[in-house]
Amino acid sequence: MTTDSLTVTDNRTGRSYEVPIADGAINAMALREIRTGDDDFGLVTYDPGLKNTASCRSSITYIDGDAGILRYRGYPIEQLAEHASFLEVAYLLLNGELPTADEHDAWVHDITHHTFIHENIKKFIDGFHHDAHPMGILVSTVAALSTFYPESKGTKESETRDLQIVRLIAKFPTLAAFAFRHSIGMRFAYPDNDLSFSGNFLNMMWRTTELKYEPHPVLERAMDILLILHADHEQNCSTTTMRTIGSSQADPYVAAAGAASALYGPLHGGANEAVLRMLDEIGDVSRVPDYIARAKNGDFRLMGFGHRVYKNYDPRAKIIRKLAYDVFEVTGTNPLLDIALELERIALEDEYFVSRRLYPNVDFYSGIIYQAMGFPVSMFPVLFAMGRIPGWLAHWQENVLDAEQAIVRPLQLFVGADERDYVPMAQRGA
């Protein structure tokens, strides 16, 4: 008997089974052998929220939630945030290695020259109501890109895949900024190829009458760092959605639109929006203890606290907390920071939060910076999605190339009615 195995005794039948363990996991299909008889389907696992199920092998991002470690392709997030650019990180996530100088130049050139979107897209952005949430506009326009690039369905050809990857990373900021400009009734600002990825995004967001928009270098770098910190986070809700949609061989535009929709929820990428609304509602440092008490009572969740994976300080939150001070030197401070710091201070001393290992996550401080930089709250999930697109694409690509993968199709434990006969409406009672 090998030691890397699990011996299971089925007490219904008294039979024992040996299930191999590889990479710290058992193959769920091995459990199918465990049956009470020939007509038994076999044992399945029940895992709502997929809390203990590895659905793929991945070599992109490593997280140790207990130790507060996050690495992209082996590189610590702290080093990437300090030294790399967002496009360099995007290349790393997608290709597994940091680019050489030549690879980097070619990559930046390609992305820079795909930032324009078809003029028709502007027409349907115009069709959105004036107060449409920019995330709704982003989700719809990303999906609509699929209709402009019908060849994108050939997900098996690497050249086709590579081109869609470049297009999606390049056009995402344009769609994001256009969604914003529409919501405030301002004429769209077109991409400027002379600027960096983040500098150009700030240009498309804020440019008004100036002939040439010049981003403030501190804010341009802060934007880039924020995108780096959001670029990937392994198998979270939106990435799993990206892989799931991709598993049916749908094109990456509709898959990315689905992933962005998953990100939109307040428990995922919508959390930074929820944090700001919460801090606004608290309104003053003196009211923090009251809100902490309410969170402990279960009346509401402290947004920006807790994480499915991190049971320690989220390493991204640490970097953002520090970054906030650089940004505030340029923009002036955000009064909500004092409330956030007090909330963090009390929560980190409180038994309820300590025993549940609830620490600030990436969203706790990012919104405060975004707000200081002038972004409205509704743009926060859009910024998160813009940062996450290389991660989604890296996972989509990995999934497409993984011979072990199949179309996602989980099982259910059916707990509904047994067979029964149709009852005519007149006989159904009140």
- Output the smallest distance, CB 308 to ligand CMC, in A: 4
User: Residue 267 or residue 401: which is nearer to ligand CMC going by CB?
Assistant: 267
User: Residue 30 or residue 271: which is nearer to ligand CMC going by CB?
Assistant: 271
308 binds ligand CMC (CB under 6 A): yes
Ramachandran angles phi, psi of 64, nearest 5°: -115, 100
User: Residue 104 or residue 296: which is nearer to ligand CMC going by CB?
Assistant: 296
362 binds ligand CMC (CB under 6 A): yes
172 binds ligand CMC (CB under 6 A): no
According to DSSP, residue 248 is labeled: T
307 given a catalytic annotation = yes
Is the Cβ–Cβ distance between 322 and 294 less than 8 Å? no
**Only segment of 15-23, 301-309, 370-378, 405-413 that touches ligand CMC (CB under 6 A):** 301-309
Q: Cα angle at 174 between 172 and 176, to 5 degrees? A: 70
- Output the smallest distance, CB 74 to ligand CMC, in A: 21
**Only segment of 19-27, 189-197, 336-344, 355-363 that touches ligand CMC (CB under 6 A):** 355-363
Task: Out of 268, 326, 338, 350, pick the active-site residue.
Answer: 268
Helices marked H in 185-314 — which ranges? 197-206, 217-230, 237-246, 252-264, 271-282, 288-297
Q: Which of 257, 358, 385, 386 binds ligand CMC (CB under 6 A)?
A: 358
User: CA 332 to CA 374: how far, in whole Å?
Assistant: 11
Distance from chain centroid for Cα 369: 18
277 binds ligand CMC (CB under 6 A): no
Site string for ligand CMC, 117-146 (x = CB under 6 A): ------------------------------
- Output the smallest distance, CB 269 to ligand CMC, in A: 6
Report which secondary-structure segment, H or E, holds 79: helix 77-83
268 binds ligand CMC (CB under 6 A): yes
- CB burial of 180-215 (b: ≥16 within 10 Å; e: otherwise) equals bbbbeeeebbbbbeebbbbbbbbbbbbbeeeeebeb
Window 214-233: residues binding ligand CMC (CB under 6 A): 233
**Only segment of 30-38, 119-127, 181-189, 353-361 that touches ligand CMC (CB under 6 A):** 353-361
Q: Cα angle at 82 between 81 and 87, to 5 degrees? A: 50
Q: Where are the beta strands (DSSP E) in 324-379?
A: none
Q: Which of 114, 277, 301, 311 binds ligand CMC (CB under 6 A)?
A: 301
113 given a catalytic annotation = no
**Only segment of 88-96, 246-254, 356-364, 417-425 that touches ligand CMC (CB under 6 A):** 356-364
Q: Which residue is nearest to ligand CMC (CB)?
A: 306
Handedness of CA 44, 50, 56, 59 (dihedral sign): negative
271 binds ligand CMC (CB under 6 A): yes
290 given a catalytic annotation = no
Please name which of 300, 368, 384, 308 lies closest in space to residue 334, comparing C-alpha atoms: 368
Please name which of 324, 311, 418, 411 lies closest in space to residue 360, comparing C-alpha atoms: 311
User: CA 141 to CA 150: how far, in whole Å?
Assistant: 15
User: Residue 205 or residue 358: which is nearer to ligand CMC going by CB?
Assistant: 358
Q: Which of 15, 113, 156, 356 binds ligand CMC (CB under 6 A)?
A: 356
282 binds ligand CMC (CB under 6 A): no
User: CA 49 to CA 408: how far, in whole Å?
Assistant: 15
Tell me which residues are annotated as active site: 268, 307, 363
- The residue ranges that bind ligand CMC (CB under 6 A) are 233, 236, 267-269, 271, 295, 301-308, 356, 358, 361-363
